[in-house]
Structure 1
């Protein structure tokens, strides 16, 4: 009977960790997406400096959580997002509206998909 309880406890801990990771990934990427949306609005108003600042804050948040992201997420996904942040930085510096808008939309989608992969759903399980 002790083995059953030990197995149930281990399963509960793993389930709790999985649910926490899904919640945390959603919270982390959601904050970055909000900053990138605000940056997009700033570029529409012609405030490229403000957009660069908000994008830099989103990138800094990514950097601050790099260990977590590289341990628990697929490296190919995190590398792709890092490249997208770098491209976004260049488009902001050049004030290229069309390229910036496309790159920003792609980056936000990548962040959404990263969080979505961690959510417990039938699509992710099977």
Structure 2
């Protein structure tokens, strides 16, 4: 009986950590996405200085969580986001709305994908 309780306690602890981790990652990604959406809206209004500041804030937010992301996310996902941020920063500095808006939309889709990967659903388990 003692072994069963220890085993169940370990399973509960691991499940608790997994749920907390998923919530933490989702919150961090949502924070980054909100800032990126603000950049998109600013660029649509041709306010590139505001868009540039919002992109930088979103990139800084992503970087702030980068150490933890490196532990729990796939590295190709992390690298893809970092590369897209770098591309986006170049286009917003150039004031190129035609390249910035699709790039920003693509990065938002990538962030949605990362956020959805952390959902505790059956499809993500296998």
Which residue of the partner structure matches residue 76 of structure 2? 76
Which residue of the partner structure matches residue 8 of structure 1? 8
4+ long deviations beyond 3 Å: none
Where does the alignment leave 5 or more consecutive residues of structure 1 unmatched? none
Which residue of the partner structure matches residue 25 of structure 1? 25
Cα contact 2:44–2:101 (8 A) shared by 1: no
Cα distance in 1 for partners of 2:25, 2:109 equals 14
Which residue of the partner structure matches residue 63 of structure 2? 63
Which residue of the partner structure matches residue 53 of structure 2? 53
Cα distance in 1 for partners of 2:43, 2:110 equals 20
RMSD: 0.8
Which residue of the partner structure matches residue 115 of structure 2? 115
Cα distance in 2 for partners of 1:98, 1:12 equals 50
Aligned residues: 126
Q: Once the 2 structures are TM-superposed, how far is the Cα of residue 46 of structure 1 from its aligned partner?
A: 1.5
Q: Once the 2 structures are TM-superposed, how far is the Cα of residue 125 of structure 1 from its aligned partner?
A: 2.0
Is the aligned partner of 1:36 residue 2:11? no
Q: Once the 2 structures are TM-superposed, how far is the Cα of residue 61 of structure 1 from its aligned partner?
A: 0.7
